[in-house]
Chain A
Amino acid sequence: MRLSDAERVSRAIQTLSGRASLDVIVDRLYDLTEGTLELDRATLHRIARGKTQVARAIDSPEECIRLYFALMIVGCEQDVATATIVEEGRAMLAGFIGEPLAALIFRDLEATLPKLADRLTLKEYLEEGLRLWLPK
């Protein structure tokens, strides 16, 4: 998988991480994705710092989407503003898999988010979204 805009992805990850250290966030991402993320810690760090455009371990859109949901959940946990979570999540996913493939998810997200005013509800929704994308 080649990131289309490594710098933007890096900025999105850092924004969604709030004030937590990148290492703590990486741990949390592995937790949330139940160990299904193929990316190793070093590559994830490099992506988060905008130091690489290549994430060879990620070879399917499903994995990108899991990372996307997990990062959005991290954004909720770090008390990032809801609008920012959505905007940065979108930038992150678009950077990974490109707009055409992400359009389906964004369309649903844009229709759903206005109905979820409460942060807890948003987080539950994101957790369910992530669960559905976890491999069986």
Chain B
Amino acid sequence: MAPEMIVPQARAESGTLRSEEARLRAYLADRLHIRTRFAPFSDVRAILVSAPDDAADKGLIVSTETTVAERIYLYVHVAAHVALGHHRPLDTIVEGVPGVVRLERDAHAHGEAERLARAMWWGTNEDLAAPRRVRGSAILRGLLARAPTRSAVRGILLALRAAYYDLRIERALSRTRIAAWLRDALCVTAVVSVAPQLGDA
């Protein structure tokens, strides 16, 4: 997974992204027994440490260098690894930083997890999927599948958000369906922008 992760230039972390991250982290804790904590890693993005007993807690240490969007992606990716049993019988999973850590030995496992993570992200499992309002949009998914259109969509959504706040219309529009859709679309776009492999058709 790591080689394709793109580090965004600016950190514009919205409330929608943060609540999605919290929701996914809670899912990892409640359903997969994965306790998450953070550490200032420079050479890896995350480490999943397991015990031989599958029912026992697992520990996920995530780099404090990651953005919220990256963490959302990491949680889905880690859930895919666990679903595939890559942590068994006692295997530590290291999510590396592109160009720093060589993970060729694990390339196959990470490739499998990528594919499953993508299926989960666009699938119907409410716990791990992208927000419901936007994940069924074939148009948005098509636009996010390629770098130029993904970048354009992100630019447009950020411009719309800026206008939304600059024009001080959030109070009037905040509860509308269109505003909710745009918030979710920006959230999904931010995640796919840092992990384009999620958007591959």
Contact = CB atoms under 8 A, between A and B. Distances in A.
Contact of A115 (B44, B52, B56, B58): B44
A128 B59 contact: yes
A136 B2 CA distance: 33
Interface in A100-136: 104-105, 107-108, 111-112, 114-118, 120-121, 124-125, 128-129, 131-133
Interface residues of B, number: 27
B51 A124 contact: no
Contacts of A120: 39-42
Contacts, number: 64
Chain A binding site: helix, strand, loop or mixed by DSSP?
A: helix
Interface string B98-139: 001111010000000000000000000000000000000000
B163 interface: no
Given A115-B101, A131-B59, A104 B43 contact: no
A1 B182 CA distance: 63
Interface in B46-96: 47, 49-52, 56-59, 61, 89-92, 94, 96
A45 to B, nearest CB: 30
Given A121-B43, A121-B44, A129 B89 contact: no
A129 B58 CA distance: 9
Given A115-B96, A120-B40, A121-B43, A128 B90 contact: no
B90 A105 contact: yes
Chain B binding site: helix, strand, loop or mixed by DSSP?
A: loop
A118 B42 contact: yes
Contacts of B103: 115
A117 B59 contact: no
A25 B50 CA distance: 27
Contacts of A104: 52, 89-90
22 contacts: A104-B89, A105-B90, A107-B90, A108-B91, A111-B91, A111-B105, A112-B92, A115-B96, A115-B102, A115-B103, A116-B47, A117-B100, A120-B39, A120-B40, A120-B41, A121-B39, A121-B42, A121-B44, A125-B92, A128-B49, A132-B56, A133-B51
Interface of A: 104-105, 107-108, 111-112, 114-118, 120-121, 124-125, 128-129, 131-133
Given A115-B101, A124-B61, A132-B59, 8 more contacts: A104-B52, A114-B102, A115-B94, A116-B44, A118-B41, A120-B40, A121-B41, A121-B43
Interface of B: 39-44, 47, 49-52, 56-59, 61, 89-92, 94, 96, 100-103, 105
